[in-house]
Structures are given as structure tokens and as C-alpha cells.
Amino acid sequence: MMSSLTIDPIVVLTIATIGIAFSYWLESRFRWARRIGNVIILITIGLILSNLHIIPFESSVYDGTMSIGIPISISLLLLRLDIKDLKTLDRQCVGYFFLCCIATIIGAVIAHLAFGSLIGEESWKLAGQLTASYTGGGENAVAVGTSLEVTKELFSSTFAADNIVTAIWMLICLSGPVGLGRFFSNVAPMEVAEAPKEQSKPFTSREFLPSLFYSLATAGVILVVSQMIGNALKAQGFVSWNTKIIWVTTLSLLVAQTPFRRNFKVSYLLGTLIFNYFFFAMGAISSIQEVINYGPRVFVYVTTVVVIHGIIVLGVGKMMKANLPKLLTASQAAIGGPATAAALAEANNWPQLVIPGVLMGIMGYAVANYMGFIIAFLMKTF
């Protein structure tokens, strides 16, 4: 194998940082880059640089990102998640979102049973990763996928297919009021209770450093405790539940409900920062040839999950005489996450559904890791 131009971790880290900055610059300057998103851009940059042998396929930088960076970043993202906000959701929104999660699970199970042979031994892991992605978001997909040790080429191919299919589903939801309106009698967005505005002000420069270290210290302690719990369970033979991400998720959610939450104002920002290095690393450790080989098979698998999701959500919604705007917002919260749910509500002129869309997405973040692991281990038996 041809050697790369550099293997120095400092140089690799610097190149990764430049790549991240470049991806954000592209996103800020070009419409096509905004449509693709910086995640796909970052994976592509890492993929090209390593396959051109500018950076290595293996580096301690990538190892650190995978083993420590991901669980730390998951914790940092969850430390700002206040579950009390979910109380403002009306029962109808909660019911629709629950339906969407069930539809995703059924879609993942069918994709595994129908097309698992195309993927091979990794299919059960992919079912779990996509369940997490399509009930929560990309962060949940990363958490579950890395914990289950999905192969790097399959992971990169899946993320690319995931983004394409998510974008297509967004377009379907955007056109839903016109294309699906004749099948639903209730097409006007109903009034919903508005979530209370958070009283805390954005952090100031004076608060930044204390909040940074409070966040990192807390996430570090959570990671250590999670590792101890996982090791203890493994020693007792509970192999399926020794995954530290489960405990990182649980402990982070618990801490986030305490008064200490006000000290974690920059935790989400830090978590996002670390995730950028992960996406670059995922591209850097992948072989272009293997990614291409996986591409068509993975696309069929991913598409099946979302198609089944759509059929069930719209079919059951029709039978329930569901409110179409709420139903589509709930579906988008599951498939794309809180940001795309809010964007859908804004684009379709449903301002009263912006906050519920965000809250349903947050609910997905909270439960997606658990659902992903449960489905993965269930599918492993088939």
C-alpha cells in the first residue's frame, strides 16, 4: 500500500481542522453546499484526502475521536436537553410522533428481513443505526453505529444514502398539503400550546470558559462512570447492556434534569464541534472502492425503511382522520430531526407547529439510542 504524505498526528489534526473550516465556508457561500450539508462535505473531504494518500487511513487522531470523542460529544449534546419542555406538547402530537417511531421500527425490521442478505453480517447493526437515525437524528445514528462497530465503509455509504433519502422525504412532506390534501379531511394546522420561552440569556464571553469546563468535566465523569457500569455488567455476563453509550445517554439525561443544567450553556456547541472531527475521520478511514461497492445495496436498504415509514404513517393517519400538518411535522421530526421539522412548518406556513416540531425532535433525541440498540439486538437473532 502506498504511504501517505504525512502520518504526524499534529499535521493530521491540523488538516482535519482546515477541512472542517472549509466545509463551513462552502456551506456559507454556496447553495448546493447548504443543500448537501457540511456532514457529507466533511466525509467527502476526508475520503478524498486519504484515498489520495495525503493523510493516512489509520491515525491516533481517528482512534481518539472514535473511542473518546463520540461518547463525550453525545453527553455534551444531551446535557442541555430539558425533558420538562416536552410537557407542552399536546397529546395529539405525542401520539403522532409515537406512530412515526413505530413506523420506523417496522421499516427497519422489514428492510433487514427483505434485504439483509445484500448487506451481509452487518445488516442487524444497520437496522439499529437507521432506527436511531429515523427516530432521533444523525447524532443518534453515530452513537449507535459506532457502538455496534459498523464497518467504516458501510457507515460512510449509509450516511450518504441517509442524507439523500431524508432530503427526498422532506420534499414529499413539503408538497404534502397539495399532493396529499385530497386524501385527508383535516388539512388545516390546529392551534397547539406554545412552549414557554427559555428565560436564560445566551451565554456571554465571561461565562464561556466556566461553562466550557463545567460541561467537559461533567461529560468526562459521566463517561468514566458509564465505562465502569459497562465493565461491571460485562463481568456479570450482560453483554448486550454493557454498551457505554446506553449509560452515557441515561446519565446525561438524568444530569440534564437537575439545576446543574444552567452551567452547561456551551455543551451543545462543544458536542457539535467534536462531531465534526468524527465525520472527517469517518471519511478518512474509508476506501472509496468499498464505499462505491456498498452504495446501491445500502440505498435500497435505507429507502425501504423510509418508504415503509411513509406508508404506515400516512395509511394509519388516513384511517385515524389525522390532522395532516401535525402528522407531517411529526414524521419530519422523526426522519430529519428538530431542525428539519421546524423548517417544514415554516416553509408550509404552519407557524404554530414550529415549536411542537422542535420538541418532537428533542423527544426523538432522548429515546433514539435506546430504540436503536433494542432493534439491533433483536434483529441479530434473525
- pLDDT tens, residue by residue, 120-165: 999 999 999 999 999 998 888 988 998 898 988 888 888 888 878 8
pLDDT of amino acid 287: 74
Give the whole-angstrom CA distance, residue 273 versus residue 265: 14
Check if the beta carbon of residue 70 is closer than 8 Å to that of residue 143.
yes
The pLDDT value recorded for residue 199 is 45
- CB–CB of 72/223 below 8 Å? yes
> How wide is the angle at C-alpha 378 spanned by C-alphas 369 and 137, nearest 5°?
25
Q: How far is CA 271 from the centre of its chain?
A: 13
Rounded percentage of the chain residues whose pLDDT exceeds 70: 89
pLDDT digits (tens, 9 = 90+) for 75-110: 898 888 887 777 777 888 999 999 999 999 999 999
**pLDDT level of residue 185 (50, 70, 90 thresholds):** low
Residue 83: the pLDDT is: 78
pLDDT band at 214 (very low <50, low <70, confident <90, very high): very high
pTM value is: 0.76
Percent of the chain with pLDDT over 90: 32
Domain boundaries, the chain: 62-193+269-274+281-379
In the predicted model, is pLDDT for residue 174 greater than 60? yes
Q: How far apart are CA 312 and CA 335, in angstroms?
A: 14
**Which residue would you say has higher pLDDT here, 198 or 33?**
33
Q: What is the C-alpha radius of gyration for the chain, rounded to an integer number of angstroms?
A: 21
**Is the predicted pLDDT of residue 195 greater than 60, yes or no?**
no
Q: pLDDT tens digits, residue range 324-355?
A: 889 999 999 999 888 788 878 877 788 888 88
Confidence at residue 242, expressed as pLDDT on a 0 to 100 scale: 47
What's the average model confidence in pLDDT over 250-274? 88
Question: 382 vs 241, which has greater pLDDT?
Answer: 382
Q: For position 198, what pLDDT does the model report?
A: 46
**Highest mean pLDDT: which of 15-24, 31-40, 184-193, 278-287?**
15-24
**H or E segment and range at residue 183:** none
Distance CA 35, CA 379 (A): 33
Confidence of residue 197 (pLDDT cuts 50, 70, 90): very low
Contact of 159 with 39, CB cutoff 8 Å: yes
- Kindly tell me if the per-residue pLDDT of 6 is higher than 60: yes
Whole-number pLDDT of residue 206: 77
Asked whether the beta carbons of 111 and 308 are under 8 A apart, the reply is: yes
**pLDDT one-digit tens code per residue, 34-48:** 877 777 788 889 888
pLDDT for 260-271, tens place per residue?
888 888 898 898
